[in-house]
A and B are shown apart, each in its own frame.
Chain A
Amino acid sequence: MRWGMIIDKLRCIQCYACQVSCKQAYFLPPGIFFNRVVTGETGRYPMVRKHTFPAMCNHCADAPCVDVCPTKASYRREDGIVIIDHDKCVGCKYCIMACPYQQRTSFQYREQYPGQGYTEYEEFGMKYNPYQEGTAVKCNFCKDRVDDGLTNGLTPGEDRAATPVCVNACPVKARTFGDLDDVEGKIRRLIRERNGEQLHSDFHTDPSVYYLID
């Protein structure tokens, strides 16, 4: 069992639903992202291509962030999800520097409306989904949804309640979640059929997130 995700660039329309939904689901303050849409372009007029890479923690099989953590707060679960135990994290930020994909952030609360105080929604979030300031945060593959779903007999990637928020949120179904170890499963099949690529495979981190380019 190794959870993985596919992001289909052919389908993606750069609507930011993944970024916004994820921020909403996890009550993330301004400047902090578990999902971040990165854009750019290549080519020359008129043969130009815009590029949209919804970037997130790659849940690498060989994760530099895990290797460098002095307190073992960052660890890789047996199902491949890389997470952080915030009670163990001392905020040294080594993992933030080590992540080659720049996916980790030191958590700070910030007001959505600068200088106007926290809203009822933000204050609720501080209790419902609290963070420890100064610790490192990142995408956790919605592990609570996955775990709860499995407990309730659901299949992550198939049943919405057991599937990461960004996958559900995508209006063009550009994201697919499933088991990378299942060679006949839809994730592996898509990777084979559409030549799925990992971001910077030259980093030799073996990400669990694949992109379908064409």
Chain B
Amino acid sequence: MKKTEQHKNKLDEIWEDVWIHTTCGGCYGACGIRVHRVNGVAIAIEGNAESTLGAEGGLCGKAVATLNWLYDPNRINTPLKRTNPKKGINEPGNFVEISWDEALDEIVSRIKQITADDPRKLAWCGSPDPNGPMMMSLVGPWGKAIGCVSSYQASGAAAWCGNGAHHVTGQYYASWDAGPDWKYCNYALFFGASQGFGSGHAGALNMRLAADARERGMKFVVFDPLCSITGDKADEWIPLIPGTDGAAVIAMINVILNELNVYDAPYIKTKTNGPYLIGPDGLYIRDIETNKPLIWDKEDNKAKPFNDPSIKDYALFGEYEVNGIQGIPGFELIKEHVKQYTPEYAEEVSSIPASTITRIAKEVAEAAQIGSTIVIDGVELPYRPVGVGIFRGGQGHTNSLHTVYAVHILAQILGAADVPGGTVALGPSRCFGDPKTGRPEGEPIADFDGMVTPTLWTWIVPRKSEDLKPPPEPQLPVTKTGLQTLFTRAMSSPFNYSKDREELWQKLGLEYRYEMILNWGANPIMSAGNTETVEDFLKSIPFFVDFELWQTETSEGFADIVLPDGSPLEHTANCGDAYNLYFNAPIGYDDWSVHIRQAVIEPLYQRRSVLEVLLDLADRLDKRDEINTFMNRRFKLDDKHRIDPGEKLTVEEMSDRVFRNNHGDDKGIDWFKEHGFIRWPKKPEEAYWRPFIDARVPIYIHELAYYGPTIEKLAEGAGVHADWKQYTGLVSWFPTPPNKAPKEYDLYCLSYRDILHTGSGTMQLPLVDEASRMNPYTYNIVINTDTATKKGIADGDIIEIESNHGRKVNGPVKTTQGVHPDVIAIAATAGHWTKGQPIAYNKGVHFDKLVELDMEHVDPTNLNMETSVKVKVCKVNRGTAQ
């Protein structure tokens, strides 16, 4: 840039002025970015204007601010070893610098010792954010190769993730998450979600598309206790009591099915298990010969396997005797079952006026335009311009799974899924690949019962229905610390951190305890459950290794060795999910864009990318060949590009193989380094795959009815109790513990994703911190103005929040009209106390101190933690808002 009289450039010479293509690591959205480097100093970040993976040139504020990762004087620059033998929240590590060799030798020796004894005692955990894309691909093979069979997500079932959302969108959309098809959607409903207004899946590209939709006139309705920026952008913000989303949604389903008698019958017949005959035991009635679930053919007046080519018409109603058993189509059962969820009942539970629920239901039913079609680039497709979104807020409760099912069943009965304007995958479900090579490719397939199964981003190879193995049956003793071998519907589990974990492990026969954990980028003491019980767990781990950018509360208090990781701007680690086949991809009818992530400066000091360190460790353990085998399988490398035994590739060299395998030998890593990304047009049959794939979704939740009795029997036999009623195939609403708490605790407290922050890692970015201090809500406890007035509380007062379990936090108040009168809200993962992050230090309020984590406070089906708390508040003193 030429300087004029205002700012005279005083550099002696400009010997370098370049823009470097990479992807953002500010959240796992991994938007395409360019970084400006002058004379070796990275000075600016902007979005990639030509790519669809992002905001076509724009970028969110926190993404731009991640430049500071490179120059933060608080970064860890050498391996560190703990000298304070005591561990705990307030215990300093008293770390001393050691060499990489010393650090890795000790780690290797521990790994050898533990895996020789019982490999299950070694676990890894991490966050998808800072090391993001490649990590998700490499770490699985790495763990398998070295014999580390235990892994868990630090916060997967806790305050910041979507244990229920991922499970259901995997089953319904063959994707990791789902949201409205903004390009064609005319009416969008959100339940505690922030797609398009925060971080996460398909981050900035959702922002861009959602803004276009709003300007186009799409009606946007947001159900949320808090009017965050998502609610503010809505045409209607509908506040409700936390944990009651399911009641409101099922009431809407009731109005649509039973009052309006609206549903997409052809879709329900051919794309769902609505016509499957359900017996009195709640299970499919199966064909004696083929064991396939049966439907009733209305014309031939007989039962047939669901995939019988001679089926003329599916019965959705009626009672039929088959094999001596009375069977009713799942759809009729659902339609009858939801009648108990009247709008008046939902009002009593959720505080949403019954008239509002009825009106929204009617608007949605009408907006769906059932039966209409649209022609897109010559392809005629069903047109259902109604979309839904639900994520952490709506599903972070003990009724997690049923609530997510309810929201997506609403979309399914309207036939508004993976068709123009409906709800679509936020990660890709179907891809025909680069037109030149046909790679990477994959599409949903049907399992034995005909249900949608994702393949594109999963490990499933080969991709034939008949090769799919049935899911594991629940069993005892449990072999996973998270109890998932019993609770098989739990994708992620918070149970390492629970208050009652030792009691549960003993009752359920867990034969080992972790002796070593490798952690990258996760800060579980702040984000994974109640702080006290997480502390208790972390103290019990004899050897804890942490790859970090800065000291975190977890590393400071509990790590034995801390290793200096490279930030996302110091990685060249680009294969696997840099393809964004996992968390996100250009959604709807946006072109495909596939990016590279590359270092914008080489790692300074002794920092090393965790990815390279993992390969180094594998070499030291002599496990390279095993990794090569897994990577070949993971990336489906052909004979020409596969990694041979004995080859010791760097991550960059592995990426080169993947790029060339998928895009041709002229497009290796050097091509990607220069050009940044490859883009090609998406076909309507990829974006809107539903009509082209013969697979169904379980609107009758058969798996819950099927596994429930076994799980209940095994658990009760071991003396473990839970609300087993949730194991029903019929979508229902169940009150949460806070819904049932004593009246004295008159407020709900919840945490929410502020648009400025992702997890806890963004709190140490100066430009984000400055913006957060300017924002009246981010660092303060938000309370309804009228509620505050009644309690004598005003802006700037310090209040103490006390849960009905006696847990307390305090912080300054900001009153607002934009929150339910019975709710107070705390933003982000704030309230850091480590001195290793002086920018983040003591900013905001740490919500997780308030939560309970035990069997009573998880969803008994998917083990998702309850993330709202019943509290009372009192003014401590007059203070000043942060």
Chain A residues engaging chain B, CB cutoff 8 angstroms? 8, 10-11, 13-21, 23-27, 30-31, 36-37, 39-41, 43-46, 48-50, 52, 83-87, 112-114, 116-117, 119-122, 124-131, 140, 143-145, 147-148, 160, 165, 168-174
Question: Contacts of B322 on A, CB cut-off 8 Å?
Answer: none
Selected contact of A121 from candidates B2, B41, B61, B65, CB within 8 Å: B41
Nearest Cβ on chain A to B231's Cβ, whole angstroms: 8
Give Cα A112 to B70, complex, Å.
13
- Which secondary structure characterizes the binding site on chain A? mixed
* Contacting pair A113 B838 (CB below 8 A): yes
| Residues of chain B with a CB closer than 8 A to A165's CB | 46
Besides A24-B43, A165-B46, 9 more A-B contacts (Cβ < 8 Å) are A8-B215, A45-B821, A48-B232, A128-B11, A144-B1, A168-B46, A168-B47, A168-B49, A171-B207
- 21 CB contacts below 8 A, A to B, read A11-B214, A13-B211, A16-B755, A17-B64, A21-B64, A45-B817, A45-B819, A46-B227, A48-B818, A50-B232, A52-B229, A83-B6, A117-B73, A121-B68, A128-B43, A148-B1, A160-B49, A171-B207, A172-B208, A173-B56, A174-B211
* Shortest beta-carbon distance from B643 to chain A in Å: 38
Contact B5 A86 (CB under 8 A): yes
Interface-forming stretch among B370-378, B450-458, B587-595, B762-770? B762-770
In the assembled complex, the CB of A16 is this many whole angstroms from the nearest CB of chain B, namely 3
8 Å CB contact of B775 from A18, A39, A84, A113: A39
B59 CB to closest chain A CB (Å) equals: 6
Asked if residues A144 and B770 are in contact (CB atoms below 8 Å), the reply is no
A117-B68 Cα distance, complex, nearest whole Å: 14
Does any Cβ of A come within 8 Å of B197's Cβ?
yes
Taken together as a complex, chains A and B put the C-alpha atoms of A8 and B233 apart, in Å, by 12
Within 8 A of A (CB), among B18-42: 38-39, 41-42
Q: Are A20 and B64 in contact (CB under 8 A)?
A: yes
When the two chains form their complex, are residues B10 and A130 in contact, meaning their CB atoms are under 8 A apart?
yes
- Contact A37 B64, beta carbon cutoff 8 Å: no
How long is the Cα–Cα vector from A127 to B13 in the complex, in angstroms?
11
Most buried by B among A124, A127, A140, A172: A172
Q: Within the complex, what minimum Cβ distance (angstroms) separates B394 from chain A?
A: 18
- Check B817 against A116 for contact (C-beta < 8 Å): no
Bound state CA distance, A189 and B237, in angstroms?
31
CA distance A85 to B755 in the complex (A): 37
User: CB < 8 Å: which of B38, B55, B70, B237 contacts A171?
Assistant: B55
**A140 pairs with B6, CB closer than 8 A:** yes
- Of B44, B56, B73, B771, which one neighbours A119 at CB under 8 angstroms? B73
B485-502 Cβ-contact flags toward A at 8 Å (1 or 0): 000000000000000000
Contact assessment for A113 and B74 in the assembled complex, using a CB-CB cutoff below 8 Å = yes
* Chain B min CB distance to A71 (Å): 14
- The answer to whether B7 touches A130 (Cβ under 8 A) is yes
Query: Do A17 and B3 contact each other (CB < 8 Å), given the known contacts A48-B227, A48-B237, A171-B55?
Result: no
B261 within 8 A of A: no
Q: How far is the CA of A69 from the CA of B214 in the complex (A)?
A: 43
User: A113 to B818, Cβ gap below 8 A?
Assistant: no
Pick the contact of A169: B43, B58, B239 (CB < 8 A): B58
Q: Select A25's contact among B44, B59, B62, B774, beta carbons within 8 Å.
A: B44
Q: Assess whether B756 is interfacial by the CB under 8 Å rule.
A: yes
B831 at interface by CB-CB < 8 Å: no
Is there an interface contact between A41 and B818, defined as CB atoms closer than 8 Å? yes
B71, CB-defined interface residue at 8 Å: yes
- Residues of the B chain whose Cβ atoms lie less than 8 Å from the Cβ of A43: 817
What's the Cα separation between A117 and B73 when bound, in Å? Answer: 9
Judging by beta carbons under 8 Å apart, are B55 and A172 in contact? yes
Residues of the A chain whose Cβ atoms lie less than 8 Å from the Cβ of B208: 171-173
A18 to chain B, nearest CB (A): 8
The A-contacting residues of B in range 589-607, CB under 8 angstroms, are none
Q: In the bound complex, do residue B57 and residue A160 qualify as a contact, i.e. CB atoms below 8 Å apart?
A: yes
- B227 engages A24 (CB within 8 Å): no
Alpha-carbon gap, A126 to B7, bound state (A): 10
- Determine if B333 is an interface residue (Cβ-Cβ < 8 Å): no
Q: Cβ of A48: which chain B residues have Cβ within 8 Å of it?
A: 227, 232, 237, 816-818
Given contacts A43-B817, A127-B11, A148-B2, contact A171 B46 (CB under 8 A): no
Select which of A15, A46, A121 is within 8 A of B237 by beta carbon: A46
Contact (Cβ within 8 A) A84 B6 = yes
Instruction: Give every chain B residue within 8 A of A21 (Cβ-Cβ).
Output: 44, 46, 59, 61, 64
In the complex, B800 has a CB within 8 A of chain A: no
Q: A120 vs B37: C-alpha distance in the bound complex, in angstroms?
A: 13
Q: Does B310 contact A (CB under 8 A)?
A: no
Write out the residue numbers on chain B whose beta carbons fall within 8 Å of the beta carbon of A117.
73
- Report yes or no: B9 in contact with A169, Cβ–Cβ below 8 A: no
B73 near A46 (CB under 8 angstroms)? no
Task: Report if B4 contacts A (CB, 8 A).
Answer: yes
- Asked whether any CB of chain A lies closer than 8 Å to the CB of B786, the reply is yes
Chain A to chain B: the 6 pairs with minimum beta-carbon distance, closest first = A16-B61, A171-B58, A171-B55, A172-B211, A50-B232, A119-B71
- Whether B770 contacts A30 by the Cβ 8 Å rule is yes
Closest to B12 in A: A127
CA distance A131 to B67 in the complex (A): 21
Interface string of B789-818 (1 = CB under 8 A from A): 000000000000000000000000000111
Is there contact, CB below 8 Å, between A171 and B204? yes
The interface centre, meaning the residue of A14, A87, A117, A119 with most chain B CB atoms within 10 A of its CB, is A14
Judging by beta carbons under 8 Å apart, are A86 and B6 in contact? yes
Q: Which residues of B contact A172 (CB under 8 A)?
A: 55, 58, 207-208, 210-211
Residues from chain A with a CB closer than 8 A to the CB of B44 are 21, 24-25
Contacts A127-B10, A171-B59 hold; do A15 and B756 have CB atoms under 8 A apart? yes
Report chain B residues within 8 Å CB of A31: 770
Q: Chain B residues near A87: list those with CB within 8 A.
A: 5
B518 within 8 Å of A (CB atoms): no
Chain B residues, CB < 8 A from A148: 1-2
Q: In chain B between 703 and 756, which residues have their CB closer than 8 angstroms to a CB of chain A?
A: 755-756
Q: B residues within 8 A CB of A160?
A: 49, 57
Q: Give the complex CA separation of A160 and B55 in angstroms.
A: 14
Q: Is the CB of A19 within 8 A of B61?
A: yes
Asked if B784 is at the interface of the complex by the 8 Å CB criterion, the answer is yes
Contact A169 B11 (CB under 8 A): no
Please name all residues of chain A whose beta carbon is closer than 8 Å to the beta carbon of B7 when the two chains form the complex: 26, 129-131
Residue of B whose beta carbon sits closest to that of A43:
B817
B477 at the A interface (CB under 8 A) = no
Q: When chains A and B are docked, how far (Å) is the Cα of A18 from the Cα of B1? A: 19
| B88 / chain A contacts, CB cutoff of 8 Å | none
Measured between alpha carbons, how far is A126 from B43 in the docked complex, in Å?
12
Residue in B67, B229, B768 whose Cβ sees the most chain A Cβ within 10 Å: B229
Check if B154 is an interface residue, CB within 8 A of chain A.
Answer: no
Contact with A along B116-158 (1 / 0, CB 8 A): 0000000000000000000000000000000000000000000
B775 x A45 contact (CB < 8 A): no
Interface residues of B in 204-260 (CB under 8 A from A): 204, 207-208, 210-211, 214-215, 227, 229, 232-233, 237-239
Q: In the bound complex, do residue A24 and residue B818 qualify as a contact, i.e. CB atoms below 8 Å apart?
A: no
Contact indicator A124/B60 (Cβ below 8 Å)? no
Closest A residue, CB atoms, query B233: A13
The residue on A at minimum CB distance from B237 is A46
Closest chain-A Cβ to B270's Cβ sits at a distance in Å of 38
Which residue of A19, A114, A129, A147 contacts B9 across the interface (Cβ within 8 Å)?
A: A129
The distance in angstroms between the C-alpha atoms of A179 and B786, with both chains bound, is 46
List A contacts of B774 (CB < 8 A).
36-37, 39
* A8 proximity list for chain B (CB < 8 A): 215
B58 contacts across to A, CB distance below 8 A: 17, 168-173
Flag if B816 contacts A41 (CB, 8 Å).
yes
| A residues less than 8 Å from B770 (CB atoms) | 30-31
Closest chain B residue, CB of each to CB of A114: B838
A172 to B4, CA, bound (A): 31
User: Which A residues lie within 8 Å of B233 (CB)?
Assistant: 13
Q: Mark B191-208, 1 if CB is under 8 A from A, else 0.
A: 000001100000010011
Which residues of chain B come closer than 8 Å to A20, judged between CB atoms?
Answer: 61-62, 64-65, 767-768, 771
Q: In the complex, A101 Cα to B40 Cα: how many Å?
A: 38
Contact among B38, B67, B755, B756 with A24 in the assembled complex (CB-CB below 8 Å): B67
